[in-house]
Amino acid sequence: MVGYRRFIAYVYEYRKGKKEDNCGFMKVEVRNHMCTIEPHLQVGNLAAGEVCKVYGFVRKEGLMNGILLGSCKTEANRIECLVETDGMDMGGSGIPLEKMGGMILLTESGGFFGTEWDDRTIRPENFKESIIKKEETGTVCEIIKEKAEEKLENESKPETDSTPDLDDRHEVEDVVEQMQDDLLEAEEMISDEPQAKDEPTVGGIWEAEQKITCRVNTKQEEKEKTIALPFGQPFCPFQDSDLNQCWKITPQDLVHFPRRQCALRNNRFLQYGYYNFGHLLLCHRSNGRYILGVPGSYDQQEQFMAGMFGFSCFKESNCIKVKKGRGGYWYRAIDPPAGC
């Protein structure tokens, strides 16, 4: 697709000027000149509420000149946010994404996290912030939140599936090249749809406190049309008024969806979730859209793999029991099934 680029870059923590362990990844996407940057980092002993600044950098005369793209607040032990800026004018600097060598994240407590895609070493002592006169640095959407700050997120890999190598060698993997053409087309079409104004901005994560039952018996709901599907088993995994109806489905049920969605049957992450929990989830939202969910747990490995295969959002459910972490569904938007 013209004007479209998407890739994932692994992020490493740097301590005392030295590269340490991988701590997560950063998803970078450019669509119609708009660049979105999504860091997903797990950082031990990171306090909640710290300011984390996100920089792109360009190399000049041995230095790494940082361009501030946005900032966010940390959560306990993690950094999750969404930064938006002009892909041809990153942070108002006049420099396009293609000219950048990577990105750096700095926390108030002195944390230094970096990723590069120019195959050159990151040396923290050579990094400095460039002062750019501009109106604004781009929009930072709020940090991903969890229910009651005690709930949410990523993957325990399949027994025979191998997760991407997270060794010291920096890798940048183009997600477009890893997924099937049909799957990519489906995701592009879905993401082109504008986000509802009142919806949470990060990955479509629902932040409503789950204080009301799944089927509130109000006059408004009585007027809502009950959707009858020729497949699936009615199911209520959430206490959330945003979801009108949910069904347990199988990969074979995806034949009832448009051809692009049908290709999701071959998605390895979807197959893994179905193998372990025996079902997938289809839900109809109050805004008329549908989501497809894959049961799993929220931990670092699973978050990475879910994002790689197109299921970047997580919603907790007490119906999914896991030994460690929080059970729930990794989900993505999907077109309606035939006849809906």
pLDDT in tens, 154-211: 444 444 443 444 444 344 344 334 444 444 444 444 344 443 334 333 333 333 333 3
In sequence order, what DSSP letters do the residues of 29-61 get, joined into one string? EEETTEEEEEEEEE-TTPPTT-EEEEEEEEEET
CB 64 within 8 A of CB 37: no
- In this model, does residue 220 exceed pLDDT 70? no
- In this model, does residue 339 exceed pLDDT 50? yes
Residues 6+ apart with CB under 8 A from 172: 7, 8, 9, 10, 117
- In this model, does residue 153 exceed pLDDT 80? no
pTM, full prediction: 0.44
pLDDT single digits (tens) 96-109: 999 999 999 999 99
- In this model, does residue 117 exceed pLDDT 60? yes
Residues 222 and 312 in one domain: yes
Domain with 32, as residue range(s), is: 4-143
Which residue would you say has higher pLDDT here, 228 or 226?
Answer: 228
Q: For residue 38, what is the domain's CATH number?
A: 2.60.40
157: in domain? no
Residues 25 and 114 in one domain: yes
118: in domain? yes
The first and second tokens of residue 132, run together, are: 């750019």
Q: What is the pLDDT of residue 185?
A: 46
Taking alpha carbons only, the member of 59, 54, 63 closest to residue 126 is: 63
Q: Number of C-alpha atoms within 13 angstroms, CB side, residue 314?
A: 29
Q: Which of 87, 117, 143 is the last residue of a domain?
A: 143
Residues 139 and 235 in one domain: no
Q: What is the pLDDT of residue 330?
A: 93
pLDDT single digits (tens) 237-253: 888 777 778 999 999 99
Q: What is the pLDDT of residue 340?
A: 66
CB 224 within 8 A of CB 244: yes
- In this model, does residue 232 exceed pLDDT 50? yes
9: in domain? yes
- DSSP-based helix, strand, coil % in the chain, nearest 5: 20, 35, 45
Q: Which of 143, 175, 190 is the last residue of a domain?
A: 143
For the chain, the domain total comes to: 2
Residues 100 and 221 in one domain: no
Taking alpha carbons only, the member of 205, 85, 103 closest to residue 140 is: 85
CB 142 within 8 A of CB 202: yes
Q: Which of 143, 158, 193 is the last residue of a domain?
A: 143
Query: Which three-class secondary structure state does DSSP give residue 88?
Result: coil
Q: What is the pLDDT of residue 240?
A: 74
Question: In which order are the strands placed within the sheet that holds 290-298?
Answer: 233-234, 243-249, 280-285, 290-298, 326-334, 313-316
182: in domain? no
198: in domain? no
